[in-house]
Amino acid sequence: MKQVDDILQEIQQRGHRKSRSRAAVLYELAQAKKPISVQDLRLLFEEQNIFFNKTTLYREIETLQKLGYIKELFLRNDTALYEMNESHHHHLMCTQCGDVRHIVLEEGLHDEEKKIAKREQFIIQEHSLEFFGLCQKCSS
């Protein structure tokens, strides 16, 4: 996993700055084990007595997304979630408690994708795959 400091370094070389909010967002997302919403980010910062304006947070997220370091996703509802844009994976979400885990498929979807591309005459760029169910706690 690429270190946050390396990323900040890289960002700087790309003409942006090492700002307080930038570092905070990256650190928070880098250590998160699941995708996080803007609201949750704000709460996490609040707990650590780190404050910045919501405008700043939204703009920071937008920037990091444009630069390709973080990724936006939606799991079943209209709340955007963010995670580091690292190795390709999917998600498994408990519909009861909301817990989210990362999933890596044993066999990817490459073959299926190829078939679809051919059949539909599409150039497939990416896909999203999410599983929903009940975790052990919630199902017992």
Site residues, DNA (CB under 7 A): 12, 15-22, 38-39, 51-56, 58-60, 62-63, 78-80
Q: What is the C-alpha to C-alpha distance for residues 70 and 124, in angstroms, rounded to an integer?
A: 21
For a copy of itself, the closer of residues 6 and 72 by Cβ is 72
Residue 61's nearest CA partner among 71, 47, 50 is 71
Q: Which residues contact 13 (CB under 8 A, 6 or more apart)?
A: none
Binding-site partner at residue 1 among a copy of itself, DNA, none, CB < 5 to 8 Å by type: none
Residues linked to residue 100 through DSSP beta bridges, in sequence order: 93
Contact stretch for a copy of itself (CB under 8 A) within 10-18, 36-44, 50-58, 109-117: 109-117
The one of DNA, a copy of itself, none whose footprint includes residue 86, by CB under 5 to 8 A per kind, is none
Residues with Cβ within 8 Å of residue 80, at least 6 apart in sequence? 37, 38, 72, 73, 74
* Interaction partner, residue 116 (a copy of itself, DNA, none; CB < 5-8 Å by kind): a copy of itself
Distance CA 67, CA 57 (A): 15
Q: 34: which 2 tokens?
A: 């699941």
Q: How many residues bind a copy of itself (CB under 8 A)?
A: 38
Is residue 116 part of the contact set for a copy of itself (CB under 8 A)?
yes
By CB under 8 A, name the binding residues for a copy of itself: 74, 76-80, 92, 94-95, 101, 103, 105-107, 109, 112-113, 115-117, 120-136, 139
